[in-house]
Structures are given as structure tokens and as C-alpha cells.
Amino acid sequence: MMDQVVVGIDVSKDRLDVCLLPAGDLFVVSRNAAGLSELAERLKGLSVGVIAIEATGGFETVVAASLASSGLPVAVVNPAQIRHFAQALGKRAKTDPIDAFVIARFAEATKPDVRPLDDEATQLLSALITRRRQIIDMIVAETHRERSVTDKSLKKSIAQLKMALERALSDIDIKIDEQIRSSPLWKAKEDLLSSVPGVGPITARTLIADLPELGRLSPKQIAALAGLAPYTRQSGKWRGKAFTSGGRSTVRRVLFLAAMAACRYNPVLKVFRKRLLDAGKPPKVAIIAMARKLLTILNAMIRENQPWQPKIT
């Protein structure tokens, strides 16, 4: 990457701020078809090593898809890692050109892997699962409100909204099921993952949609991708506690839920948890370790195309 151009792009609703390294060139294009076409043509004329785009809640998807479809090397990077990198550089000011520069510097320093974009069907499945989670959060919020109101008209309003949300949830579940069943590969993966005690359909489908690398990475790499790899804080003789951070929150969330279910139903993880607790580990630490071990097991199962076997530890 030494002789190649590294590109950092800060994506906002209406514009793209672009930084080119090592030259340090900065320019802006509109986040529309004309701007994306102009950007792609400009970058195709350069020797580009990687184009780093910060994940911004959906605005980056069209940008990444457009550039990748033009044959350019795109990597979508974690915004939390960018923030930490900016702090390390002492960049406390926050403007779009500065953000583009920091993203480019981050890509130059870390050399993020360029991965092909998920296909349209995988993106749709991920969007459906995200929407399902949002609807469940709304149902939970309305349930809490229902407990705190006494007025009959308000209770009726809340009940009506909950019924509408539950119907929407049912529709989403049907669509998710149709998506999974439309792909023999996805259905086979779901069957493999769901064979593990504690792993239900939602966990399996979230992993299929949001962790397509499952089965293709090492245990350490897949744990890091999910934000379950422990990092130790150490300075001189002082050694702090290990902690986890970053990664894909949707994946981490379902793995925690699956780990809690596995406490009751999975013989291997049940014994593993008891061993941790007997060693004096706090319950929260035990759950994190169980989630990581569960992910390691699932990664091995997909790699080997083998269903659950209690001997896998």
C-alpha cells in the first residue's frame, strides 16, 4: 500500500468529503448519482489501495455499493475505532474534512481488509432482522408505559398500538422465514446452527445475515469481529482487567441471549459456566466467556459443515 493511494470518505446525508493520502488532497462531491459517478471516475484514474468509508447508520451503503460495483477496493470501517484513532492523533476538532483525513489515516495505518459487499438478498435479510429488533423494542417500551398509566383511554391507546406492533412483528417473521427458505444454503446453515442447544432461529438468522464470515475465520478473528475478544490493559508492572469492546453489536447481543439460554440447555456450556464460577469468575464475565466459546463452536461447525456434537468443546 506504500505506493498506492489511500482514500478516506466521510459520508453525510447530502455530501461526501474525500481525502487522498499521501498527497493530502481534500475535495467534496454530492451524495447522489452524479456525485458518485464523478467520484468513481476520479478514483479509477488513480492507483487506489483501499477506500475506507465509516459506517454511518445506512448512508454509507449506497456509496460503498456504487464504488465497489465500479471495481474499486472498498472497506467499511467501525466508527468507534475511528473515534479512538482520532483521539490518539489528538484531533479533537470535528469537521467533515478532518473526519475524512482521520479515516484515511486510519486506513493507512491499519490496512483494513477489503471484502466484497453482501449480495442484495443478504442485505434484505439483515434489514428485516434489524426491523424485527426495532419492533420488539417498541413493544417492550409500550409495555412499560402501560404499567405506569391509569387513565383508561391511554391504556386503550397503548393496547391498540401494541396489537398493531405485534401484527407487524408477525409479518416480519413471515418475511424472514420466506427469505431463509428461499435459499437452500441459508436453510442448511440455519439447521446447522439451530442444532446447538440454546441457539434458536433468531440467533441463527442474525448470524447468517450479520456475520457472513462465520466459518471462514480463525477463532480469534471471529471473536474480534463480534466484539468478544478480550483486550488487556497493561502498563509497566500494572496489569488491568481484560475487557471487550467494538465489534458487531447485533451479533454480540444475540450471542449473549443464546449463552444465557445455554446455561440451562447446553451440556457443554453448562459445565463450562460452572467451572468458571467455581474458579471465582463473576457471572457477567462467565456469560461473556460463554458467548465467545459458543461463537467458536458455531464457527467450527460451519467450517466443517458438521451439526452439533457434545464432544465439541
Mean pLDDT of all residues belonging to the chain: 85
At residue 244, the pLDDT reads 52
Query: Rounded to two decimals, what is the model's pTM?
Result: 0.64
Task: Quick: pLDDT tens for 176-219.
Answer: 999 888 888 888 999 999 999 999 999 999 999 888 888 988 89
At residue 239, the pLDDT reads 47
At residue 94, the pLDDT reads 58
Q: Flag whether pLDDT at 70 surpasses 90.
A: no
Query: According to the 3-state scheme, what is the secondary structure of the chain?
Result: CCCCEEEEEEECCCEEEEEEECCCEEEEEECCHHHHHHHHHHHHCCCEEEEEEECCCCHHHHHHHHHHHCCCCEEEECHHHHHHHHHHHCCCCCCHHHHHHHHHHHHHHHCCCCCCCCCHHHHHHHHHHHHHHHHHHHHHHHHHHHHHCCCHHHHHHHHHHHHHHHHHHHHHHHHHHHHHHHCHHHHHHHHHHHCCCCCCHHHHHHHHHHCCCCCCCCHHHHHHHCCCCCEEEEECCEEEEEECCCCCHHHHHHHHHHHHHHHHHCHHHHHHHHHHHHCCCCHHHHHHHHHHHHHHHHHHHHHHCCCCCCCCC
At residue 146, the pLDDT reads 92
Q: Does domain 5-110 have CATH number 3.30.420.40?
A: yes
| Domains of the chain, residue spans | 5-110, 120-182, 208-304
At residue 58, the pLDDT reads 66
At residue 278, the pLDDT reads 94
